Amino acid sequence: MGWARWWGKRKNKTAAAAVTQVQEPTISEKREALLALSGKLSCGIGTIAEEVVQAIDHPEKYVEQWGDRLINRGIEEAIPDLAWIALVDALDEQGLVREIDWKQDADNILFAVHSLLDRRDWLQPAADRGLEQAISPGGYTFDHLRELHDWLRPHGIVLGHLDIDSDSYVLIVVQEEQCEEIERLAKTSGYKFYGRFR
Protein backbone atom coordinates (compact mmCIF):
# COMPACT_ATOMS: atom_id res chain seq x y z
CA MET A 1 0.00 0.00 0.00
CA GLY A 2 1.42 3.36 -0.98
CA TRP A 3 1.96 6.10 1.59
CA ALA A 4 -0.62 8.37 -0.01
CA ARG A 5 -3.32 5.69 0.08
CA TRP A 6 -2.52 4.81 3.70
CA TRP A 7 -2.62 8.50 4.73
CA GLY A 8 -5.94 9.00 2.91
CA LYS A 9 -7.49 6.04 4.72
CA ARG A 10 -6.07 7.25 8.03
CA LYS A 11 -7.52 10.74 7.52
CA ASN A 12 -10.92 9.28 6.64
CA LYS A 13 -10.91 7.10 9.78
CA THR A 14 -9.88 10.07 11.95
CA ALA A 15 -12.60 12.29 10.45
CA ALA A 16 -15.21 9.53 10.91
CA ALA A 17 -14.14 9.05 14.53
CA ALA A 18 -14.43 12.80 15.17
CA VAL A 19 -17.94 12.86 13.68
CA THR A 20 -19.14 9.94 15.77
CA GLN A 21 -17.82 11.53 18.97
CA VAL A 22 -20.07 14.59 18.59
CA GLN A 23 -23.32 13.66 20.28
CA GLU A 24 -26.61 15.44 20.01
CA PRO A 25 -28.01 16.59 23.34
CA THR A 26 -30.76 14.36 24.70
CA ILE A 27 -34.33 15.62 24.98
CA SER A 28 -33.77 16.00 28.71
CA GLU A 29 -30.58 18.02 28.16
CA LYS A 30 -32.35 20.25 25.63
CA ARG A 31 -35.20 20.86 28.07
CA GLU A 32 -32.80 21.61 30.93
CA ALA A 33 -30.80 24.01 28.74
CA LEU A 34 -33.93 25.84 27.54
CA LEU A 35 -35.19 26.27 31.10
CA ALA A 36 -31.77 27.48 32.27
CA LEU A 37 -31.73 29.93 29.36
CA SER A 38 -35.23 31.11 30.28
CA GLY A 39 -34.00 31.80 33.79
CA LYS A 40 -30.96 33.72 32.55
CA LEU A 41 -32.96 35.96 30.23
CA SER A 42 -36.02 36.53 32.43
CA CYS A 43 -34.64 39.01 35.02
CA GLY A 44 -36.14 36.85 37.76
CA ILE A 45 -39.67 36.90 36.34
CA GLY A 46 -40.85 33.36 37.09
CA THR A 47 -43.85 33.41 34.76
CA ILE A 48 -41.52 33.33 31.75
CA ALA A 49 -40.09 29.91 32.63
CA GLU A 50 -43.61 28.74 33.57
CA GLU A 51 -44.84 29.55 30.06
CA VAL A 52 -41.91 27.65 28.53
CA VAL A 53 -42.64 24.64 30.74
CA GLN A 54 -46.30 24.74 29.71
CA ALA A 55 -45.31 24.86 26.02
CA ILE A 56 -43.05 21.82 26.50
CA ASP A 57 -45.28 19.69 28.74
CA HIS A 58 -48.75 20.73 27.57
CA PRO A 59 -48.43 22.25 24.09
CA GLU A 60 -52.14 22.03 23.28
CA LYS A 61 -53.06 23.86 26.50
CA TYR A 62 -50.39 26.46 25.74
CA VAL A 63 -51.82 27.07 22.26
CA GLU A 64 -55.33 27.33 23.70
CA GLN A 65 -54.28 29.78 26.43
CA TRP A 66 -51.99 31.94 24.29
CA GLY A 67 -53.80 31.64 20.96
CA ASP A 68 -54.28 35.41 20.59
CA ARG A 69 -50.53 35.92 20.82
CA LEU A 70 -49.68 32.98 18.56
CA ILE A 71 -52.11 33.94 15.81
CA ASN A 72 -49.89 36.96 15.07
CA ARG A 73 -47.19 34.46 14.12
CA GLY A 74 -49.56 32.32 12.08
CA ILE A 75 -49.46 29.54 14.69
CA GLU A 76 -52.79 27.83 15.29
CA GLU A 77 -51.61 24.48 16.68
CA ALA A 78 -48.64 23.01 18.51
CA ILE A 79 -45.43 23.08 16.47
CA PRO A 80 -41.99 21.57 17.21
CA ASP A 81 -40.47 24.97 18.12
CA LEU A 82 -43.37 26.02 20.35
CA ALA A 83 -41.27 26.26 23.53
CA TRP A 84 -38.76 28.58 21.81
CA ILE A 85 -41.59 30.79 20.52
CA ALA A 86 -43.12 30.72 24.01
CA LEU A 87 -39.84 31.99 25.46
CA VAL A 88 -39.60 34.79 22.91
CA ASP A 89 -43.24 35.82 23.35
CA ALA A 90 -43.01 35.73 27.17
CA LEU A 91 -39.86 37.86 27.07
CA ASP A 92 -41.60 40.25 24.68
CA GLU A 93 -44.62 40.47 26.98
CA GLN A 94 -42.28 41.67 29.75
CA GLY A 95 -40.41 44.13 27.51
CA LEU A 96 -37.19 42.09 27.66
CA VAL A 97 -36.96 41.63 23.88
CA ARG A 98 -38.01 43.79 20.94
CA GLU A 99 -38.81 42.27 17.59
CA ILE A 100 -38.00 44.49 14.64
CA ASP A 101 -38.35 43.95 10.92
CA TRP A 102 -35.22 43.20 8.90
CA LYS A 103 -35.83 46.47 7.07
CA GLN A 104 -36.23 49.06 9.83
CA ASP A 105 -35.27 52.72 9.99
CA ALA A 106 -32.73 54.12 12.46
CA ASP A 107 -35.31 55.84 14.67
CA ASN A 108 -37.28 52.65 15.29
CA ILE A 109 -34.09 50.70 15.95
CA LEU A 110 -32.96 53.32 18.47
CA PHE A 111 -36.36 53.25 20.13
CA ALA A 112 -36.20 49.45 20.44
CA VAL A 113 -32.68 49.46 21.92
CA HIS A 114 -33.50 52.34 24.29
CA SER A 115 -36.55 50.40 25.48
CA LEU A 116 -34.45 47.31 26.20
CA LEU A 117 -31.83 49.30 28.09
CA ASP A 118 -34.47 51.24 30.04
CA ARG A 119 -36.25 48.00 30.98
CA ARG A 120 -33.04 46.76 32.59
CA ASP A 121 -32.02 50.23 33.82
CA TRP A 122 -28.51 49.81 32.39
CA LEU A 123 -27.46 53.19 30.95
CA GLN A 124 -27.50 56.71 32.34
CA PRO A 125 -29.02 59.58 30.29
CA ALA A 126 -25.60 60.91 29.20
CA ALA A 127 -24.70 57.51 27.80
CA ASP A 128 -28.06 57.33 26.04
CA ARG A 129 -27.18 60.44 24.07
CA GLY A 130 -23.97 58.72 22.97
CA LEU A 131 -26.02 55.79 21.79
CA GLU A 132 -27.93 58.04 19.40
CA GLN A 133 -24.66 59.27 17.92
CA ALA A 134 -23.46 55.70 17.34
CA ILE A 135 -25.70 55.28 14.31
CA SER A 136 -24.39 56.72 11.05
CA PRO A 137 -26.86 58.35 8.66
CA GLY A 138 -28.21 56.12 5.92
CA GLY A 139 -27.32 52.46 5.97
CA TYR A 140 -29.33 49.34 6.50
CA THR A 141 -30.88 47.75 9.57
CA PHE A 142 -28.01 45.29 9.96
CA ASP A 143 -25.45 48.14 9.79
CA HIS A 144 -27.28 50.10 12.49
CA LEU A 145 -27.52 47.06 14.74
CA ARG A 146 -23.81 46.37 14.31
CA GLU A 147 -22.95 50.01 15.16
CA LEU A 148 -25.10 49.91 18.30
CA HIS A 149 -23.63 46.54 19.28
CA ASP A 150 -20.10 47.91 18.89
CA TRP A 151 -20.97 51.03 20.90
CA LEU A 152 -22.55 49.07 23.78
CA ARG A 153 -19.80 46.41 24.09
CA PRO A 154 -17.29 48.62 25.98
CA HIS A 155 -20.08 49.30 28.51
CA GLY A 156 -20.26 45.56 29.25
CA ILE A 157 -23.56 45.23 27.37
CA VAL A 158 -24.14 42.95 24.41
CA LEU A 159 -26.89 43.71 21.91
CA GLY A 160 -27.80 40.35 20.43
CA HIS A 161 -30.73 38.59 18.89
CA LEU A 162 -32.68 35.36 19.24
CA ASP A 163 -33.16 33.52 15.95
CA ILE A 164 -36.79 32.51 15.34
CA ASP A 165 -36.23 31.57 11.70
CA SER A 166 -37.97 34.71 10.51
CA ASP A 167 -37.18 37.86 8.56
CA SER A 168 -37.08 39.82 11.80
CA TYR A 169 -34.58 40.39 14.58
CA VAL A 170 -35.64 39.56 18.13
CA LEU A 171 -33.33 42.00 19.91
CA ILE A 172 -32.16 41.49 23.47
CA VAL A 173 -29.48 43.03 25.68
CA VAL A 174 -27.41 40.87 28.01
CA GLN A 175 -24.37 41.39 30.17
CA GLU A 176 -21.14 40.65 28.37
CA GLU A 177 -19.96 38.12 30.96
CA GLN A 178 -23.13 36.05 30.41
CA CYS A 179 -23.02 36.09 26.60
CA GLU A 180 -20.95 32.93 26.11
CA GLU A 181 -23.12 30.89 28.47
CA ILE A 182 -26.30 32.17 26.83
CA GLU A 183 -24.95 31.13 23.41
CA ARG A 184 -24.06 27.69 24.79
CA LEU A 185 -27.46 27.17 26.43
CA ALA A 186 -29.30 28.24 23.27
CA LYS A 187 -27.21 25.87 21.16
CA THR A 188 -27.71 22.96 23.57
CA SER A 189 -31.45 23.55 23.55
CA GLY A 190 -31.43 23.45 19.74
CA TYR A 191 -31.81 27.16 19.04
CA LYS A 192 -29.64 30.19 18.32
CA PHE A 193 -28.68 33.34 20.16
CA TYR A 194 -26.30 35.63 18.30
CA GLY A 195 -24.18 37.86 20.49
CA ARG A 196 -22.82 39.82 17.56
CA PHE A 197 -23.79 41.36 14.23
CA ARG A 198 -21.12 40.26 11.77
Kindly report, residue by residue over 117-173, the tens digit of the pLDDT: 999 988 765 565 678 888 888 889 999 999 999 999 999 999 999 999 999 999 999
pLDDT on residue 7 = 43
Strand order in the sheet with 168-175: 98-101, 168-175, 157-163, 192-194
Residue 192: CB atoms within 10 A of its CB come to 14
The alpha carbon dihedral of 34, 36, 37, 43 has a sign of positive
Q: What is the model's pTM? A: 0.86
pLDDT on residue 132 = 83
For residue 80, which phi and psi values (nearest 5 degrees)?
-60, -35
pLDDT on residue 120 = 92
Distance CA 93, CA 79 (A): 20
Distance CA 151, CA 115 (A): 16
Q: Which residues pair with 158 in a beta bridge?
A: 174
Q: Which residues pair with 100 in a beta bridge?
A: 169
Cα-Cα-Cα-Cα dihedral of 110, 46, 180, 195, to 10°? -20
